[in-house]
Chain A
Amino acid sequence: MSLSGIFGLLFVLIFFGSLLVSSFVFRQKREFPWRDIAAFKNIQHAIGLAVEDGTTFHFSLGRGLINALESAVTFVGLRMLERITRLIASSDRQPLVTSGEGAVNILSRDTLQATYRDLGMESQYSPSAGLMVGPTPLSYAAGSIPLLLDEKISANVLIGHYGSEVAFFYEAGERAGASTVAGTDHLEGQAVIYAASESPLVGEEVFAGGAYLQAGLLHQSSLQVQDIFRWVVIILLLGGALLKLLNLEQLLLALISGAP
């Protein structure tokens, strides 16, 4: 029987256990000592602007498949959408939510409807607020250009799975005079965001969106557990390198190599 499968399962179980323990600790402490990430501050500022001015807040969820690895970043985007919708609801305005994939489109509308239902404002929910712009990366990006230019948006927030086409959203956002904040799990997309923005969301920062928008204890504890496991990975890598020098790396590789 493959060891890597069992070690993988163990890794997941310990990670999950740590999440639960950490969320219990946060429930007691109620303080969140996270470093500043300018992009999330910009999002909060944009929410305030949209509420004050009554302008449109554009939230884009990307084109990630829900039954694939990229679903994770879309789940983060959907949770952020829920938080933003709650904050904007006080101004009687709905965010304009776009996506480039069928299941993401359905989930965006589900999230909007559930949030308005939870706020006791379901009558204000309009399904037209959740649009699927185009079913391919470029049709989604290019199709968003006229939409962003016509809707008088003040904020252009993109959280989801995007590749290099994210450049079009930045370009359209700039033409529309809106501030753009984007985060993706796709490295090429991140490289473009790095070039386009003064406060880019890079690496795993996009996954912290829920915690920075106060989406709940488990989001806060996720960051703490990610930090702990970051050092676990670092120790494993250092240990592996040391074992490699001693020609004993197979001891560790047996645990982490190959599919189960």
Chain B
Amino acid sequence: MKQNFRFPWSAVLAIAVGFVVTLGYFIPSSAPVVGGTLASLGDYFLQVGVVLAAVAMLVGLINLAAVHWTRFRTAGENRLGSGVVVITMIATFLLGTIDYFWGWLEDPNRSLTQYVFRHIQLPVERSLMALLVVILTYMAIRMFRRRMTVYQAVFLGVFMVVLLGTGLDIPYITDTVKPWLSNVWAVAGTRGLLLGIGLGTLASGLRVLSGVDRPYGG
């Protein structure tokens, strides 16, 4: 294994940028001496982040197109599907470009993109959401079939009560039990979960900011 030492420029950059943005988060702009500068620098880097995330998405989309283009050119069982991805991706983008230059992008009656969105993306998305009903029902039934723990029984019981209380107007369940479960008991659990997730998030962010975790490969 090579052991050549290379100065970790990218780690230094990540740490420096992260440090400035973190300080900008906590030190108010009204703080004497550095407050205004830190807040402005923090905002600036957040804007840079938006642009970089957008470009990264484009690079990801190019990767997506490239993978499907390669599959399309190589004979295989998914060749047709890959071709469809590349063609519809380019076509949708071209329609959006026409919309943009003709000024139709926001006009639901003229926008070609919105037509495609309304008649292809939305039906498939909603159908997949609908499919989720079957998958979730199957999951719940399978939970019944497994050797259930008391907590899983509580989970399923609460699920049934809240579902029935939402869909039907059952006296006592709809107006008392369901709101009590949702607004008191579930909020308690959710808050505990969120506090724990907050601690985990903080630790994970600090590992990156200390240069221990370097997912950018530097």
- Whether chain A touches chain B in the assembled complex (some CB pair under 8 Å): yes
Inter-chain contact A103/B132, CB cutoff 8 Å: no
With A79-B215, A192-B136, A260-B28 given, is the CB distance from A226 to B203 under 8 Å?
yes
Which chain A residues lie closer than 8 Å to B199 at the CB level? 204, 226, 229-230, 233
Residues on A with C-beta less than 8 A from B136 are 167, 192, 195
Could you tell me which residues of chain B, from 101 to 124, have a CB within 8 Å of some CB in chain A?
124
Q: Which of B190, B200, B212 contacts A207 (CB 8 A)?
A: B200
Given known contacts A5-B28, A111-B217, A192 and B139 CB-to-CB distance under 8 angstroms: yes
A-facing residues in B12-33 (Cβ within 8 Å): 22-23, 25-28, 30-31
Cβ–Cβ < 8 Å partners of A230 in chain B: 195-196, 199
Q: Is the CB of A105 within 8 A of B63?
A: yes
* Interchain CB contact under 8 A, A69 and B201: yes
Interface residues of A toward B: which range? Answer: 35 or more
In Å, the complex CA distance between A225 and B197 comes to 14
Interface readout for A84-102 with B: 1 if CB under 8 Å, 0 if not? 0000000000000001011
In contact, B2 and A12 (Cβ under 8 angstroms): no
B57 close to A (CB within 8 Å): yes
Q: Which of B125, B129, B193, B203 has the most CB of A within 10 A?
A: B203
**Closest Cβ neighbor of B128 among chain A residues:** A138
Complex CA gap A2/B39 in Å reads: 14
Interface check A39, CB cutoff 8 A = no
A219 to B193, CA, bound (A): 20
Contact with B along A4-21 (1 / 0, CB 8 A): 011011001001100100
Q: Does A222 sit within 8 A of B, measured CB to CB?
A: yes
The answer to whether A216 and B212 touch across the interface, beta carbons within 8 angstroms, is: yes
Q: What are the interface flags for B160-185 relative to A under an 8 Å C-beta threshold, 1 for contact and 0 otherwise?
A: 00000000000000000000000000
Q: Contacts A168-B135, A171-B135: A204 and B197 contacting too (C-beta < 8 A)?
A: yes
Residues of B within 8 A of A46 (CB): none
Within 8 A of B (CB), among A47-85: 65-67, 69, 71-73, 75-76, 78-79
In whole angstroms, how far apart are the Cα atoms of A106 and B208 in the complex?
Answer: 17
Q: Are B201 and A195 in contact (CB under 8 A)?
A: no
Flag if A103 contacts B207 (CB, 8 Å): no
Name the one of A76, A132, A210, A229 contacting B60, with C-beta atoms under 8 angstroms.
Answer: A132
Which one of B64, B143, B197, B216 has the greatest number of beta carbons of chain A within 10 Å? B197
Contact B200 A5 (CB under 8 A): no
Chain B residue contacts of A225, Cβ below 8 A: 203
Whether A102 contacts B53 by the Cβ 8 Å rule is: yes
The smallest beta-carbon distance between A232 and chain B, in angstroms, is 10
Do B56 and A103 have beta carbons less than 8 Å apart? yes
Q: How far is the CA of A204 from the CA of B200 in the complex (A)?
A: 6
Q: Does B87 contact A (CB under 8 A)?
A: no
B75 part of interface (Cβ distance < 8 Å): no
Q: Pick the most buried of B50, B64, B140: most chain A CB atoms within 10 A of its CB.
A: B64
Q: Residue B37 at the A interface, CB < 8 A?
A: no
Cα distance A107–B124 when bound, in Å? 29
Instruction: Please tell me if B81 contacts chain A, counting CB pairs below 8 Å.
Output: yes
Q: Contact at A146–B203, with CB atoms within 8 Å?
A: no
Pick from A103, A113, A171, A196: contact of B57, CB below 8 A.
A103
Query: In chain A, what residue has the closest Cβ to B70?
Result: A128
Instruction: Say yes or no: B206 contacts A1, CB within 8 Å.
Output: no
Q: Report A171 CB to chain B, min CB distance, Å.
A: 5
| C-alpha spacing A203/B207, complex, angstroms | 19
Interface residue B155 (Cβ < 8 Å from any Cβ of A) = yes
Q: Point out the residues of chain B lying under 8 angstroms from A170, CB to CB.
A: 135, 139
Interface centre among A67, A120, A192 (most CB of B within 10 A): A67
Residues A132 and B215 in contact, CB atoms below 8 Å apart: no
Listed from nearest, the 4 A-B pairs whose CB atoms lie closest are A102-B60, A207-B200, A102-B57, A114-B217
Additional 10 contacts, C-beta under 8 A, given A9-B23, A9-B27: A1-B28, A75-B204, A102-B57, A138-B128, A150-B77, A194-B155, A207-B200, A210-B213, A233-B199, A260-B28
11 contacts between A and B (CB under 8 A): A6-B26, A73-B201, A73-B204, A78-B213, A78-B215, A102-B61, A107-B215, A120-B2, A150-B77, A192-B139, A260-B28
